[in-house]
Amino acid sequence: MFFYNLKYLIWVSPAILLMLWAKWRISSTYRRGMDVPAGLSGAAAARHILDTHGLSDVEVEETPGHLSDHYDPSSRVVRLSSAVFRGRTATAVGIAAHEVGHALQHAQNYGPMVLRSMAVPAAQFGSWAFMGLLLAGMFFSSPKLMILGVACFGITVVFQLINLPVEFNASTRAKQILTEMGIVDEGEGSRAVRQVLGAAALTYVAGTLESLLTLMYYASEFSGNRDSDSA
């Protein structure tokens, strides 16, 4: 197919390899961190950090799924997967503290998070419009529609670039807070938290790189086709 030909796979292969490495890393560090005990469960750690920072109105809820942890800014709820919610391990408190980091960003109007929230509707539209315009351009043999589709996909790439500092900052906050509050020790516990959050960060980098390389691939393809048509 046009979307997944060999040339495209070669273009995005660095991102694919990085994503495979990141997924292996997060799986292995997640398991290792689950063997490192912590003084609190993920839910208790999240609640303690929120209350200490004056965010007692932010709820902490259990949610089904594996690695389904997230912060919902619209309802101001930290949702933690069962293993994280109930686990008294370095992995559990590390992931919980990362999601609480997003709640702290939201409360403090952290610049990149404000931009990310503003960009969500545009990114959702860009992802949908990219595929629709690309297919329409192919069907009607219209390079202009395909180029417009690629431009829309660029909005999604910008969103992912904005998202990177949001995720990195949440992890930085988590590591610092967990140590300062004594939820993990400065030895094995802190090291396990750094490893699992570092592996999680790699997945965001890989996803952004894949989108960026995809954008470059289609831009190159359409630029080459336009040059050959005008020759």
pLDDT in tens, the chain (231 residues): 444 578 889 999 999 999 999 999 999 999 999 999 999 999 999 999 999 999 999 999 999 999 999 999 999 999 999 999 999 999 999 999 999 999 999 999 999 999 999 999 888 888 888 888 888 888 888 878 888 988 999 999 999 999 999 999 999 999 999 999 999 998 999 999 999 999 999 999 999 999 999 999 988 887 655 544 544
Give the per-residue pLDDT at 70.
Answer: 97
> CB under 8 Å to 26, separation ≥6 — which residues?
67, 196, 199, 200, 202, 203
Which residues in 53-66 are b (16+ Cβ under 10 Å) and which e? bebeebbbeebeee
| pLDDT reported for residue 224 | 58
Cα distance between residue 170 and residue 38, in whole Å:
20
Q: Which residue has the tokens 């790699």?
A: 202
Report, as residue numbers or ranges, the catalytic residues.
Answer: 99
* pTM for the structure as a whole: 0.88
In whole angstroms, give the CA distance from residue 42 to residue 31: 15
Q: Is 211 exposed, middle or buried (0-12, 13-18, 19+ CB in 10 A)?
A: buried
User: What was the pLDDT predicted at 2?
Assistant: 46
If you compute the radius of gyration of the chain from its CA atoms, what whole number of angstroms results?
A: 21
Q: Rounded to 5 degrees, what are φ and ψ at 57?
A: -85, -10
State the Cα–Cα distance between residues 161 and 215, nearest whole angstrom. 13
pLDDT at residue 226, as a whole number: 56
Q: Is 177 helix (H, G, I), strand (E, B) or coil?
A: helix
Distance CA 12, CA 171 (A): 27
For residue 158, with 0-12 CB atoms within 10 Å meaning exposed, 13-18 middle and 19 or more buried, which class applies? middle
Torsion sign (Cα): 109, 183, 72, 166: positive
Residue for token digits 């403090």?
108
pLDDT at 220: 85
